[in-house]
Structure 1
Amino acid sequence: MSFALFLLLATALVMFSFGVLRIRKILTLPVVVAYLYLAFFVPQALHLERDVYGPWLNADFLFLYMTAALIALALGFYVTSSGLLGGPAEQRRKTTAFERWRLPGNVSAPMNKYEQKLLAGAIVLWLIGAVANYQLSATDTSELGNMWTGVATLWFLLGQSTFFSLAIAALLYARTGRKVYLIIGLLTLSAVLIGFGGNVKRHMIAETLIILGGSIFFVFNWRPPRVAVFAICFLGMVLLHQVGDVRAYIQRGEGTVVSAFVEGVPFERFSYFQADDAPELSIAALDIHYAREQDVAEGPVELWNDLVLRYVPAFALGRDFKDSLMMEHELAQEGMDYEMYATPGITHTGFSDTFRSFSYFGVLVFGLIGMLFGWLWKHALAGAFWAQFYYLILLNDALVAFTQSSARFLSGLPFILAVTLPFIWRFGQKVYHTRQARRRAHETADRPPATGRPA
């Protein structure tokens, strides 16, 4: 094992161990990304270092760049979450873990106008997401790889509304215990299942678990058992690598995701230390190799092209107009043979696009992402509904900045903010811990009536 790979492994292991030992930090972005490194990237790195693709493809620099990206992310997160920038957030009253779902008696706080607005928004988002996920499940994307275009991009964007609705419903149900939020949550989960169809999508499973678990985590100040954390992490690691086997199992009509795990389908060919290939890191290493060789820093070309790809509809404005907006890459493509690495669905990773865009300063992109999430984390722990909402719906998308490209994550932010910000920012700040209000009202109702002022 080279020193560069050892440094990468040690950094990720120390950071993830910190989250396990201080379980209250388990959902912080640096800990989640460290887990992603250990579960997804390290097996590929071990495979890549064995010089399967020839000794000319030296991956040591890639490993050092990946280490620097993880450190920059952690530093950015710490700067804002610790209050070094912006000061500390106002802390809410500490609540006991798992407060009772219902308080005794008939005392309950009425639904205020802000909750009503959020409820209406959750219903509208659910309807949009349900239709989009159904249409996406009927669209063949198997040959599109990471270059989704046309109607597939439209349905994918609108399908994210399902998760926005689920996050609103989960957070409000955890805070208030109202059945209407539970019903909305179950409806959104059904829309997610429709979106699965025969295609098991890792990002959909991960986002669902993050929203449901994160809602309990933030509202109840919950510390999950470490045994459960390790079990979920192990199953997630297996699914990351063997999702193709599970998808094929379902498409053959042999069962569901649950039955696939019960029958051990994902475990049949899984081996952590003997990965079959390293497609993502191989392409990233090749991209960085050519960028260093040609001494090219393209700037935000990738981000601009991704914005055009997502938000300029060719069916409405014409393919020629859309193509005219795309910027050309300065990095010469001659000799960049991806045939031995690339298959449909394989991405170049965020390490590739940040280095091609900003050379060695590309790690600062991950530092800025860390600062954004540190700021959200600080306010989420203080009980702010809007911060909890955005942290949960963006956490899984932030992983895309590593597994696919940072441009993919950044270009998705305008859609998310445009759909959610108008009512989340206005009304989400007004939603308080209704359970606490109900408890205070109940305690007041049980208090004996005053007999007059003392002399």
Structure 2
Amino acid sequence: MVLNLLFLILLLGLLIFITGKDLYRNSIYEGPFWFSIVLLGWFIPKYFSMMGKDNSSIFLAYVFLCTSFFIFAFRINVNFNFKQRYLDGKYLNIWLIFTSVIGLIAYVKARSVLDVYQELHGGHLTGFITILFFLSKLLVINFAVSFNNFLNKRNITAIIYMLPSLLYFLDRIFIYGRRETLLTLVLIILTLLYFKTNFLLKRALLVPCVIFGAVIISTVGQYRYVMENDLPLSEYSPLEGFTDSANTDHSNEVLIATKKINFIWDNDMYDMYLSLWDRVIHSYFPGQIFGAGLKKSLTFSYNQVTTDMLSGTYSSGMTSTGFVDSFQAFSFFGFMIFFLIGVLLKRVWNQALHGRELAIILYPLLLSKSLFTITHSSAHFFLELISFYVFFGFYYLCTASREVV
């Protein structure tokens, strides 16, 4: 209990210091600020609700280690250069139309069969619908590119190119209540406005906005329940939802993460980060085309830890935070994964500050996924990086665009 309290005080002190310092310096678009905000607004309330229900000293020590090294990595001055690719206006517009059509068709098809798949498979989607959702996520990158295009040109044509992907965002947010989609949209808009126009939220507005955002994101589960069951919108109460989300054990991701890390520690269930390879295969290898057997043979499925192995009953489809898969990779040395994420994010940040177009587009996408390393898994960051380079890799392959150093 003493160790739990010690590591909790250290973690809270670090988060409050970073948040206050970045607010004072107006460094509100840098990775450490958002990382600290998510830990304060999402992680800490869930931790307080499960205190005393399991020994969390190992988990808290590891969270403090990962957070410290992520912040430290972002403070390192990473200035190695890379060639900037030229975004040809004519070819880019054609590419935006092409990806919009593919993304919308895939999303409409996925949306039409989503309820059936959820009934069959619960919270875990598998099969052809995973390909449809992967293609529909082209619309996320598409929106970042088209919004950047709009800030460059400020014309009606640029707005039209934004509309398909904007419809995707609005549907995912207001109809399906997807908090990750809301967060990604906000970060794309805010960071691109900052890079292109030097826009900064005033401090007087920022604090209430952050508190409001933390409450909304924490209560999205209740909003989703209201929408899925066709209940009156008046049934949605942000304050009540925030309290319920923090106090419900079976859906408390922090409690699940604590139990999993203790289980991994007690049973030496490490996997050397082979889980990342399995996620890459699951996301990018179409078993429907090449065969499910071949796809399964390419994965390791080594030392998997599921909620069935833990004491207690938990909701299906629950995440267990990115601290679990990184800890399972290399024990306490898993903090190096968060250090690497911080270094890569800082590199893109530096390039974006120097006006590199691809970095400006990539930064908000990676920033949002770096926050998913807290709530979901560390693999989300690397999968987003791969998706981005696949998107632009095909663009440059199709256009054979020239390079500018």
Bin of the TM-score, shorter chain as denominator length: 0.7 to 0.9
| CA distance in structure 2 between the partners assigned to 1:315 and 1:215 by the alignment | 37
| CA distance in structure 1 between the partners assigned to 2:61 and 2:137 by the alignment | 34
1:381-419 Cα offsets, whole Å, 9 max, x none, are 111111101112222122222211112332343233111
| CA distance in structure 1 between the partners assigned to 2:257 and 2:329 by the alignment | 13
- Are 2:121 and 1:124 equivalent residues in the alignment? no
Residue 381 of structure 1 corresponds to which residue in structure 2?
353
Which protein has the larger Cα radius of gyration, Structure 1 or Structure 2?
1
Higher helix proportion (structure 1 or 2): 2
Kindly report the root-mean-square deviation, in angstroms, between the aligned alpha carbons of the 2 structures.
3.1
Residue 25 of structure 2 corresponds to which residue in structure 1?
22
Residue 11 of structure 1 corresponds to which residue in structure 2?
14
| CA distance in structure 2 between the partners assigned to 1:9 and 1:34 by the alignment | 9
- The TM-score with structure 2 as length reference comes to 0.87
Alpha-carbon distance, 1:338 to partner: 5.3
| CA distance in structure 2 between the partners assigned to 1:410 and 1:88 by the alignment | 19
| Equivalent in 40, 43, 50 of residue 41 of structure 1 | 43
Amino acid in the other structure paired with 1:226: R
Residue 434 of structure 1 corresponds to which residue in structure 2?
none
| Equivalent in 374, 391, 396 of residue 363 of structure 2 | 391
- Are 2:136 and 1:163 equivalent residues in the alignment? no
Contact 2:222 2:236 in 1 (8 A): no
| Equivalent in 225, 228, 231 of residue 208 of structure 2 | 231
Residue 86 of structure 1 corresponds to which residue in structure 2?
80
Change (3 A) 1:124 1:307: same
Change (3 A) 1:206 1:200: same
Alpha-carbon distance, 1:158 to partner: 1.1
Output aligned runs, 1:231-250, within 5 Å.
Answer: 231-250=208-227
1:8-58 Cα offsets, whole Å, 9 max, x none, are 1221221122222122x1111111111110111001111121x23xxxx21
Structure 1 unpaired stretches of 5+: 91-111, 432-455
Amino acid in the other structure paired with 2:67: L
Contact 1:298 1:356 in 2 (8 A): yes
| CA distance in structure 2 between the partners assigned to 1:142 and 1:240 by the alignment | 22
- Are 2:253 and 1:280 equivalent residues in the alignment? yes
Change (3 A) 1:11 1:145: farther
Alpha-carbon distance, 1:424 to partner: 7.1
| Equivalent in 52, 58, 70 of residue 73 of structure 1 | 70
Change (3 A) 1:19 1:159: farther
Alpha-carbon distance, 1:325 to partner: 2.4
1:160-197 Cα offsets, whole Å, 9 max, x none, are 11111111111121122122111212332123234457
| CA distance in structure 1 between the partners assigned to 2:310 and 2:75 by the alignment | 40
Moved more, 402-411 or 155-164: 402-411
Residue 190 of structure 2 corresponds to which residue in structure 1?
213
1:277-331 Cα offsets, whole Å, 9 max, x none, are 3621122112211222123432122112112212222322333332222213236
Contact 1:125 1:162 in 2 (8 A): yes
Residue 289 of structure 1 corresponds to which residue in structure 2?
262
| CA distance in structure 1 between the partners assigned to 2:163 and 2:338 by the alignment | 35
Output aligned runs, 1:305-316, within 5 Å.
Answer: 305-316=278-289
Q: Secondary structure at the match of 1:44?
A: helix
Q: Secondary structure at the match of 1:271?
A: helix
Change (3 A) 1:253 1:328: closer
Contact 1:130 1:192 in 2 (8 A): no
Q: Secondary structure at the match of 1:30?
A: helix
Change (3 A) 1:145 1:241: farther
Amino acid in the other structure paired with 1:383: G
| Equivalent in 187, 191, 198 of residue 164 of structure 2 | 187
Residue 377 of structure 2 corresponds to which residue in structure 1?
405
| Equivalent in 337, 341, 357 of residue 365 of structure 1 | 337
| CA distance in structure 1 between the partners assigned to 2:266 and 2:402 by the alignment | 50
Moved more, 232-241 or 384-393: 232-241
| CA distance in structure 1 between the partners assigned to 2:402 and 2:210 by the alignment | 31
| CA distance in structure 2 between the partners assigned to 1:303 and 1:113 by the alignment | 31
| CA distance in structure 2 between the partners assigned to 1:424 and 1:69 by the alignment | 36
Moved more, 227-236 or 171-180: 227-236
| CA distance in structure 1 between the partners assigned to 2:402 and 2:238 by the alignment | 41
| CA distance in structure 1 between the partners assigned to 2:87 and 2:14 by the alignment | 48
Residue 134 of structure 1 corresponds to which residue in structure 2?
108
Alpha-carbon distance, 1:119 to partner: 1.9
Aligned residues: 395
Contact 1:303 1:408 in 2 (8 A): no
Q: Secondary structure at the match of 2:309?
A: coil
Change (3 A) 1:175 1:364: same
Alpha-carbon distance, 1:217 to partner: 1.1
| Equivalent in 30, 33, 36 of residue 31 of structure 1 | 33
Contact 1:137 1:195 in 2 (8 A): no
Contact 1:291 1:297 in 2 (8 A): yes
Alpha-carbon distance, 1:154 to partner: 1.2
| CA distance in structure 2 between the partners assigned to 1:391 and 1:192 by the alignment | 18
